[in-house]
Every structure is written in C-alpha cells, then in structure tokens.
Structure 1
Amino acid sequence: MLHNKNYINMEITDAYINSTRLVNSVSMAHIRYLYDTIDWSSRMVCIKGARGVGKTTMMLQRMKQLFPKSEQAIYVSLDDLWFTEHRLIDLAEYHFLHGGTHLFVDEVHRYPYNNWIQELKNIYDRYPELHIVFTGSSLLQIDFSLADLSRRCVFYTLQGLSFREYLRFEEKGEFAALTLDRILKEHISITTDIVSQTTIIPLFEEYLRHGYYPFYKEAPASYSLRLQQVITTILENDLPAVEKVEYVSIKKMKRLLMIVSQMVPFSPNMTKVGESIETTRQAVSRMFQLLERAALLIMLYSEKNNMQQLTKPEKVYLENTNLMYALAPTSDIGNIRETFFANQLKANHTITFSGQGDFRIDDTYTFEVGGKTKSFEQIKDIPNSYLAIDNVEYGTGKRIPLWLFGFLY
C-alpha cells in the first residue's frame, strides 16, 4: 500500500507529467486501420497484439485526440519501476478522485503482482464513471484470462502494417481497405487504378523486407537487429512472465524459429524436429503452441480437424516476412510468398491447410500462391479456386496479383 500521502502525490504528479510528455510527442500523421473500428465508448477496452505493432502509439493517439491538454486521462505502463512498490488500483483511485475519467494501461502482463486481472475488475466495479483501455504485448496471459474479463471488456487485436498501410506510411498513396469479395470480383479495375498512381512492385519488395512493424522508420539500417531483439524480449521476458518455461527451452525455441525460417514451406515432423533441437515430441508441440500465441508463428491445420490443440499443424510459417528476412536473409521465395498471404488473410478470415492448393479461406475459397509461371493444374477442378501471383502488376480472370491481398485491412 501507499503510506506517505505527500510522497504519493509527488510521485503521481510525476506520472501525469510523463503521460503528458508522451501524449505531446506522439504523431497523429498515421492512424492505424484498427483505430476507427474500436468502440472507444466502451468502459473497458483491450488491445492485443504482437510486441512492436503499435499498440502504445494507438493509445497515446486516442488520448491526444480526446484530451490534448487535460489530466482527465493518464497513461501508465505496468513495466515501470514505480509499480514494484505501488498498486494500479491505488493509482486509479487517486486519478478518479482528482477528476480523472480515462485510464490507459500498457504492458499489463508485466505487472509485478501477477493479479492485474483482479485489479482491473475491481477498478471497473468500484469506479463506474472511469473508462479503461489496456494493452499487452504478450498474447499469452491475456488469452488465458479472457473468460474472467469477457463480461466487462471488449477485445481487439492489432496486426502489423498491411501493405496498404505501408504505402500510406511511405506517402505513396491513400487507398481504401478492400474486402476479399471485392478483390476476387474487381481486381482488374482495382489494380489498374492503384498501379496508375504508384510503382507497386518495388514497394512491395521493400514491404516484405521491412514494412510490417511501424518502427521500421526509426532506424532503417538496424531494423533487422531490432527485430532480433524483439524476438529475444518475447522469449526471455514475456514468455517466462506468464508461463513456466526453463531457460534451456527458450534457447531451443530460438533454434526452432531458425529452422522454420530456413525451410521451404515447413510441414513439421514433430519427432525429427525434436531430435534436431534435442527435445521430445511433446515439448516441440508445446513450443509451437507458445510461439504461435506469442505471434511469432502461424500454424495451419487441416480444414477437417477442429481439435487444433490435439493435432500437429500441417504447415508452419513465421508470423510475417520481416521476421523471415531478419532470421534468414536468403529465405526461400515460395515460403516468403506464402507467409505474406497467410499473414494478411488471417487478420479477418479463417485460414486452413488445403490438401489441394496452398490455402483454404473461410471454408469457401482455395488459393495457390506462386510466381508468374504458376498454373491452375493443381486446382483446376476445384470450385472457387484462385491463384495469387507474385511479380505482376495486373491480374487476369482468377489470376490475382499477390500484392493486392495486402489491401485487406
């Protein structure tokens, strides 16, 4: 508990000063796709997502839009040392009693008392006029605890930049997001319009290398190094904070990520993978699940099997192509293409493994992904089948440019 009131007031005043400084420094130039879909009027909002995709920036932008010069809102990060001796619920009480209406809480999974769920519930129940927005870089504990908050909270997931958003960040054009249905039906006219405004292929190649995480602009020359540091932080800090994971397992998970990054679209044999990283089949299966929940992997299961936790995935990809280039700069081009497609589609669609074709989308569409010479031979007799083709500006019929699937959000 907090004991000395004068000391408390001084420290909390510092928190308001820090919050104001961060809000003042955030840019409003680039608003992410998720911003306008969030129901900010809800009393409790959770923004989930991988480390580095821009959750903190989004919260600060919301504060800047609503309260540019007001202490009605305060931003705090629960990895701040202040919270090693003080409770979030005490800060919330002080904030509410001094006219606060909005509390923005970052990095909830780093709260040292391991009871952030209970404290958020208590804050929600005690202060009905207080609005709470919170984030967590690790998907693990938040996902595990959803049931306890579901009655009170609205949950959203923020992905990294889509190719469409990257073009806007690079000031190469303002384009509206597209539905999958529009892409399938109108891709010829849509691509004609987009290509008339920008040189799309070189920009797409750049995006695949360094366009997924918004911080790419901060230090382009060291971007790959920073991505490796993000991976290390997730494995060495976030995972152990929410799961019982031994250090030797963390080292093996790093090796597992390297294996996935270097393989042609990876269909795992759990026993052989276990042998290569010197662990058991069961341990490999758990590692895959943890890495997927940490937003470092995408795992595809057969459309016929809904018991994902009980079966092995049919294919495994790194979560995005930027991670691939950071871990294995000479990654297989087929793997890169499929990783991009899976990453962009999973934001708003159900994506499963297809025995015929590469992907099954929403249990309706079948897609093959490839280069210019890719043919329909493998999926020619399947209804609602399409090709996603790399290195082309325009499509024809059911041959659709791969880059256009980067406009889905």
Structure 2
Amino acid sequence: MERIKLKSVFLREEMDTLHIRHLYHQIDWSDRLVGILGARGTGKTTLLLQRMKLAFPSDDTALYISLDDIYFASNTLMEVAETFRSRGGKVLFIDEVHKYSGWAREIKNIYDTYNDISIVFTGSSVIDIYQQEADLSRRAIFYELAGLSFREYLRFADVYSGEVISLSDILSQHTQIAFKLSKHFKPIPYFEAYLDHGYYPFFKENIRTYFLRIEQVIRLIIETELRFVDGFDINNTNKVMQLLAILAENVPFKPNISKLSSKIGISRQTVTQYLHYLEKARLINMLNPAGASISILQKPEKVYLENPNLHRAISLSEANQGSRRESFLLNQLRNAKHEVSLPSAGDFLVDRKVTIEVGGKGKSRKQIAGVENAFIAADNLEIGIDEKIPLWLFGFLY
C-alpha cells in the first residue's frame, strides 16, 4: 500500500496542468461514481491526475491507482479501498479498470458499502458497460474522452485559445466567425498540421515519433484491449490488423463483406463483428442511412478511419486528401455528440435535418442541388460565404 501511495504522490506532483481538456469542465465531479471511457492515447490518465492535482494538491484524501499495476496481482481493489478509507481517504482515482478481472463487481461493492468514498475510474472505449455482471449503468455517470478537436489542438500548440462554437452558430454565422478567428491565427496551415499530427495529445512530446506512437497505440488496442470484448477470438488478432490495413487503403469504403471475408480468411459474420469492434475501439467510424437498425451484425454502408491522423499512420500509400477531409468532419461532428447518417444526396446528414457535402475550395453545389438546408464544407478556404463554410471551422464544435 505504501508503494502505490508514493507512486500516486509522485505522479500527481509531476503532472502538468497547463493544458486542460474541454471534458474536464463538463464532468460533474461531485457525483460519487464517475466513469471516463475513451480510446487509448486520448489522455484519460492525464485527466485523472490533473483532477487529483487541482482538487487535492497536497493532502492524502485522494489516491491514484492503476489496475494494471503488478500490486494487484496479489491484492484486491476492495482491500485497497478499505485500507485507504481507514486512513482518512475520500476519493479513489482508478485507472485502466478493464485490466482487472471483476472490476465492475468490486467497484459496485465499494460504492454500495461506503457512502463516504467517491470513485472516478477510466476504461477502454471497447468496454460494454451494460454487459458487466455488476450493474454500474444505474450508479455511474459516464463520459467519453475523444481525441483533440482542432480548437483544442490550437490551444495545446499555444496558438490560440478559443471557446466552443455550436453547430447552429457555424451554419448561420460562419462568415463573421471565421473573419474574427482569422485575425488571431492563419487557419489553413494550422489545419493541415492538425490533419497530419494533431488528434492525439502526445503530439506535444515529440512530433518526429508521433506516428510510431500511433502504430503502437493501434497494436495495443488490437492485441490487448479487444480481448476484453465478449466474443473476440484473440487468435484472429492478425486478421483484424489485416482488415484495418485494407480499410485504410480504401476509405471512405463501401464494404463488400463477401470479398473481405474471402481476402482475410474469416467468415462474413465475423468480418461484420470485427468492424463493430474496431468502431468501439475508435479506430473506424461506420455510416448508415438515418433510421437503419444498428447491431453487431449490421453491415455498414460506408466505413471511414476514425480520425485523419490514422491515414498516414496506417496507409501504405499517401493519404487521400478527400478521405482525410471526410474523416475529419465525421469525427468532429460525432465527438460533439451530433447524430450523423448517410443522406440520399451529399456526404453527411446531421441530426436528420442538415446535409453537408465535403470538398475543396472550388466545390460546387452539384451533388446537393435542390436539397434543402444543405451546405458545403470546403477545405483550403479561410473565410466562406452563404452556404459554403470553411472545413476547419467545424473543428471548434467541442
């Protein structure tokens, strides 16, 4: 216990609190049980330690523990909680819960037994909370930490600190907003940098090794985190890697499940399941028409890489600019909690009422001619007019 307490103090003291994610201010930290889910590499551990440092800067009432620590090979989470509480502890910050067998049951028992203990925990986005044997869904408040928005990237890069802009304001006031923002920074070169290497917070550490880090993240997700998904066969890890590589070369991709099945050497049903797992792991985004039933066996109409940085990290050929544009817009809209589906005309139908076509600066309205409430999200455009909106501006949605 003393060793993990010393480790907790060390990590708290070493944590930088200069750059705080937007989600930090959305979380109601007064709730007794808070769950923060998200893909590997998005900064969940940093968020926990920043909260601990800012709210409990010098006392012993808070403790950070990671459940992949070797300490838990011979000690239980409940034992740690009981000892911590007996010494005056109040808040447990628990990292990597999915690495610990029976984590949901023990967290539930701590929560139900000790009403003077609060818990904040993190876990992989592949976790299906509703499939756990202990029902945490009625007890915990859950949040998801995505990668950096373009707005957050600018702040982390010490370029510009701006507020979130709603989709309705972007659609109705984009010319005035873009004109105002462009006085503070040149959006086009910074946006290109973001598409290349700005989604994961670790870009701050070393841009030269950024894509090696992404490759490591992808491999860890597929080789270690997907094994926590019910029904995933760990023997098919290389098949999943192969599937992801095929998608990366072809996105946006209209999958032919039979051809994918034949090429990879697994059944059609398994291919569809693995697409679902890759989406849960936040490595791809799948798109279907509005109102279509969504299930683990539902074949998607189109598949995208989850964020534009993945194109360069995974694809063997140079990333297609059009693919990166669409990947970016779908990513930012969904991370801002907008519903996005496949329209009959255009690229994306947002909240079942707004159609958006994505393209370059010279993109015409041909694909969305006659469509009501339709807009063009144009790349390489600093300031737009009427229904043509700069693509980069959608990076301020969260």
Partner of 1:128: 115
The aligned amino acid for 1:103 is L
Partner of 2:59: 70
Matched residue SS, 2:329: helix
The aligned amino acid for 1:254 is M
The aligned amino acid for 1:241 is F
Between the aligned partners of 1:144 and 1:201, the Cα distance in structure 2 is 44
Partner of 2:377: 388
Q: Determine whether 1:40 maps to 2:20.
A: no
Partner of 1:8: none
State which of 90, 97, 110 in structure 2 corresponds to 1:101. 90
- TM-fit CA distance, 1:270: 0.6
* 1:15-164 equivalent positions in 2, closer than 5 A: 15-111=4-100, 114-142=101-129, 144-145=131-132, 148-164=135-151
Name whichever of 238-247 and 125-134 sits farther off. Answer: 238-247
Matched residue SS, 1:171: coil
Q: Determine whether 1:255 maps to 2:238.
A: no
Contact 1:183 1:404 in 2 (8 A): yes
State which of 193, 202, 225 in structure 2 corresponds to 1:206. 193
- TM-fit CA distance, 1:309: 3.5
Q: Evaluate the alpha carbon distance shift between residue 144 and residue 335 of structure 1 in structure 2; reply closer, same or farther with a 3 A threshold.
A: farther
Matched residue SS, 1:34: helix
Between the aligned partners of 1:225 and 1:307, the Cα distance in structure 2 is 34
- TM-fit CA distance, 1:150: 1.7
Q: Determine whether 1:190 maps to 2:171.
A: no
Contact 1:301 1:308 in 2 (8 A): no
Q: Determine whether 1:343 maps to 2:335.
A: no
Matched residue SS, 1:91: helix
- TM-fit CA distance, 1:321: 0.8
- TM-fit CA distance, 1:311: 2.5
Q: Determine whether 1:406 maps to 2:392.
A: no
How many pairs align? 396
Between the aligned partners of 1:308 and 1:332, the Cα distance in structure 2 is 30
TM-score norm. by structure 2 comes to 0.97
Between the aligned partners of 2:197 and 2:211, the Cα distance in structure 1 is 8
- TM-fit CA distance, 1:247: 4.1
Contact 1:138 1:239 in 2 (8 A): no
The aligned amino acid for 1:340 is F
Percentage of matched positions with identical amino acids: 46
TM-score norm. by structure 1 comes to 0.94
Between the aligned partners of 1:146 and 1:399, the Cα distance in structure 2 is 50
Contact 1:104 1:134 in 2 (8 A): yes
Q: Which consecutive unaligned segments of at least 5 residues does structure 1 have?
A: 1-11
Q: CA RMSD in A?
A: 1.4
Between the aligned partners of 1:39 and 1:342, the Cα distance in structure 2 is 27
Instruction: Please list the CA deviations of residues 332-351 of structure 1 after superposition, one character each: whole Å capped at 9, or x if unmatched.
Output: 11111000000000012011
Contact 1:302 1:313 in 2 (8 A): no
Matched residue SS, 1:346: helix
The aligned amino acid for 1:156 is Y
Between the aligned partners of 1:408 and 1:143, the Cα distance in structure 2 is 29
Q: Evaluate the alpha carbon distance shift between residue 337 and residue 91 of structure 1 in structure 2; reply closer, same or farther with a 3 A threshold.
A: same
Q: Determine whether 1:272 maps to 2:259.
A: yes
Name whichever of 276-285 and 383-392 sits farther off. Answer: 276-285
Matched residue SS, 2:367: coil
Between the aligned partners of 2:354 and 2:127, the Cα distance in structure 1 is 30
Matched residue SS, 1:164: helix
- TM-fit CA distance, 1:246: 3.2
Q: Determine whether 1:232 maps to 2:219.
A: yes
Q: Evaluate the alpha carbon distance shift between residue 143 and residue 225 of structure 1 in structure 2; reply closer, same or farther with a 3 A threshold.
A: farther
Partner of 2:368: 379
Runs of 4+ in 1 over 6 A off after TM superposition: none
Matched residue SS, 1:148: coil
- TM-fit CA distance, 1:141: 4.0
Contact 1:59 1:104 in 2 (8 A): yes
Between the aligned partners of 2:130 and 2:42, the Cα distance in structure 1 is 18
Q: Evaluate the alpha carbon distance shift between residue 147 and residue 288 of structure 1 in structure 2; reply closer, same or farther with a 3 A threshold.
A: farther
- TM-fit CA distance, 1:143: 5.6
Q: Evaluate the alpha carbon distance shift between residue 151 and residue 312 of structure 1 in structure 2; reply closer, same or farther with a 3 A threshold.
A: same
Between the aligned partners of 1:183 and 1:143, the Cα distance in structure 2 is 36
Contact 1:109 1:142 in 2 (8 A): no
- TM-fit CA distance, 1:262: 1.1
The aligned amino acid for 2:143 is Y
- TM-fit CA distance, 1:306: 2.8
Q: Which consecutive unaligned segments of at least 5 residues does structure 2 have?
A: none
Instruction: Please list the CA deviations of residues 12-40 of structure 1 after superposition, one character each: whole Å capped at 9, or x if unmatched.
Output: 11111100100111111001010111000
Partner of 2:352: 363
Between the aligned partners of 2:233 and 2:126, the Cα distance in structure 1 is 19
